[in-house]
Structure 1
Amino acid sequence: MQLTRRSALGFFGATAIAITTRAASARPFPPDLSQLSPKQRADYEAMHARMMAAFPYERLTVPGGDALAEWEKLSRSGRGWPVIVGGDDDLERIVDQFTMADPSVSGVVVPGLDARSPKDILAAAARLRFPADLQKWSGAYRPQDLRAPEGAWPAAVDVQPGPTLISDVISGKVHERVHIVLLPTASGWEAPAYLRWGGWNACPPPEYHVAALRRWHEASGAVLVGVNGDTMNLRATTRPRDRAAARALAREQYGYCPDIVDQGVSTISALAAELMASDWWHLWWD
């Protein structure tokens, strides 16, 4: 397991700093501070303030029910690419991942964490051709590991008619507050580079997300609408023309994001049917 997310607990001692790490979605964020001493809590709160201050992008907060309409307005504004990141905890996860390798936040240099600039990530993405080059990443599922059956074409399809990030994943209740970040790019497929998003568990590093989103934008008009700690919401302008094309796209998505089949719809045909029934693509990594 590749651990590349800080749990945001930095307990500052007289001569050392201890930082714990977590895998994606391993426990609630922010952490429970009730057991900390006053000094530990003050140290954590100071680090948290530095973390939020180090996130350089403009943020807007809107009622959850208004988030998609606000996103659509912002996408036409010419102010950059808007990304819905969800509620308060979701925003903190995004900021946490973006700043985890920044020693000005944590006070230490953690080897192996991704501190590349968006420019460097985009340069790496430009050298990739998705999906063929996905296997260049050491953490990618190998073809022999992708064992989901094709399955029968479902008689009915139940799809999510919009972004999932505006709602609580358990209750389905729309968040009272939803945050949207504005990134300094006109291309939504570049967003993972600006957020340093990915590189944990089976979730590819940022440049692979950029390469995938670029391909799907060119092929299907798909754009990134939202991303939180472990989920992407995309909206396509063109659906697959027939079942064969839908299955081919479903296999592409399965290789990139195995959890949506292995822990989700169970078969390639079930995912393909969703792609033919809806403009919304929901990708998530456990």
Structure 2
Amino acid sequence: MRDEGRPMQRRDVLTGLLAGALGATMPWRAQAVTPEDSAREYQRQAMAQFPLKLIETTGDNALAKWQELKAAGQGAPVVLGGEDEHHSLGNLLTPFAPHGPYGPPLRPVEDILRDAASIRFPDDFIQRSKDSNEAAIRQFKEMLAAKPDMPLPVITESKDGQPRTLTRDETIAAMLGSGREPPLGDWPDTTDAMDGLSVVMDYRTGQPLTKVIIGLAPTDDWTTIPAILRWGHWNGCPKPEEHVAAFRNWRDRYGAELVAITSDVINLRVARRPQTRDEALALAREHYVYCPDNIDQGVGTFSALAAALMSSDWWYFWWD
């Protein structure tokens, strides 16, 4: 997956280490341990440490089962998505995999929750985003001054339906302006409501998945689930404690509750929608500092996102 552990890279390293360790203990005439064997052992050990009880259901029954488990009061349920062809929970398992002497130990949940309590949402997110953008622009200017002919990325835009590659000067201007907010945009005449429980659907067919896994977290406070799963802090995804802080803020203001969390997607459901355009626009800005791709690679403007928030009880976030 990602930065503080880019799972696919880390998984490859761990698979190789595990294969070497297992192979070294076997008689020289024994059959060699294959990468597939190592991957299965990696998954087995991660599953043994995974902190949620797993319950299998179907995509078309997932929300009803989630509600049933919530009402039972035996823990906090969360939909973890569908199983893949390897019957794996994917990168949800990465923090609990066997890291050996080269990997970081798991952060205690208590430490994550303590850090979450000190975060002011959304103010700290806004300041962090501003500081990060300013640092990136400052570094780019320094690199450009040291080497004016440095290679630049190829950026294309669509104008009148035709793709066009930016000139070098236009590319530099675009990169220097990359920290700017998205446009406000016009308020849309019609709005497509956000998808509901999107993680239980097969995006290729639009049909419910045949097998979906729900996790039951050992807590009566669902906002702690990102801490229990050590979820986040890769690419642009917030840290676990930042998810907890955002969830608690939205729970108190909008009655938000976490229904699903997969390797890269979160589905929240709210009890109260924003009531005015101004409130919806302010909320859209909170969503943007929490998950920029919802606009940058999604609806494109604050107004489009705000209109969607006024028309749906479901909030969708994803990080690639």
**TM-score category (smaller protein):** 0.7 to 0.9
Q: How does 1:147-226 map to 2 (within 5 A)?
A: 147-226=181-260
Counterpart CA distance in 2 for 1:188 and 1:276 is: 24
- Equivalent AA in structure 2 for residue 98 of structure 1: P
- The offset of 1:280, in angstroms, is 0.3
User: Tell me, what secondary structure is at the counterpart of 1:76?
Assistant: helix
User: Tell me, what secondary structure is at the counterpart of 2:78?
Assistant: strand
Higher CA-based Rg: 2
C-alpha RMSD of matched pairs (Å): 2.5
State TM-score, norm by structure 2: 0.75
Counterpart CA distance in 2 for 1:114 and 1:159 is: 41
Given that 1:203 and 1:257 are in contact with CA atoms closer than 8 Å, whether structure 2 keeps it comes out as yes
Given that 1:91 and 1:179 are in contact with CA atoms closer than 8 Å, whether structure 2 keeps it comes out as no
Aligned to 1:6: 7
Gaps of 5+ in 1: 18-36
- The offset of 1:207, in angstroms, is 0.2
Given that 2:75 and 2:218 are in contact with CA atoms closer than 8 Å, whether structure 1 keeps it comes out as yes
Counterpart CA distance in 2 for 1:56 and 1:190 is: 12
Given that 1:85 and 1:94 are in contact with CA atoms closer than 8 Å, whether structure 2 keeps it comes out as no
Aligned to 1:86: 81
Given that 1:146 and 1:258 are in contact with CA atoms closer than 8 Å, whether structure 2 keeps it comes out as no
State TM-score, norm by structure 1: 0.83
- Percentage of matched positions with identical amino acids: 39
**124-133 or 202-211, larger mean C-alpha shift:** 124-133
Aligned to 1:117: 108
Given that 1:57 and 1:183 are in contact with CA atoms closer than 8 Å, whether structure 2 keeps it comes out as yes
Given that 1:158 and 1:274 are in contact with CA atoms closer than 8 Å, whether structure 2 keeps it comes out as yes
Q: How does 1:254-273 map to 2 (within 5 A)?
A: 254-273=288-307
Q: How does 1:103-114 map to 2 (within 5 A)?
A: 105-110=98-103, 113=104
- The offset of 1:61, in angstroms, is 0.5
Given that 2:95 and 2:230 are in contact with CA atoms closer than 8 Å, whether structure 1 keeps it comes out as yes
User: Tell me, what secondary structure is at the counterpart of 2:34?
Assistant: helix
Counterpart CA distance in 1 for 2:132 and 2:189 is: 30
Please point out which of 270, 287, 293 is paired with 1:253: 287
Counterpart CA distance in 1 for 2:284 and 2:119 is: 20
User: Tell me, what secondary structure is at the counterpart of 1:82?
Assistant: strand
Given that 1:146 and 1:255 are in contact with CA atoms closer than 8 Å, whether structure 2 keeps it comes out as no
Please point out which of 60, 63, 81 is paired with 1:65: 60
Aligned to 1:99: 96
- In proportion to residue count, which structure has more helix? 2
Gaps of 5+ in 2: 24-31, 135-177
Aligned residues: 261
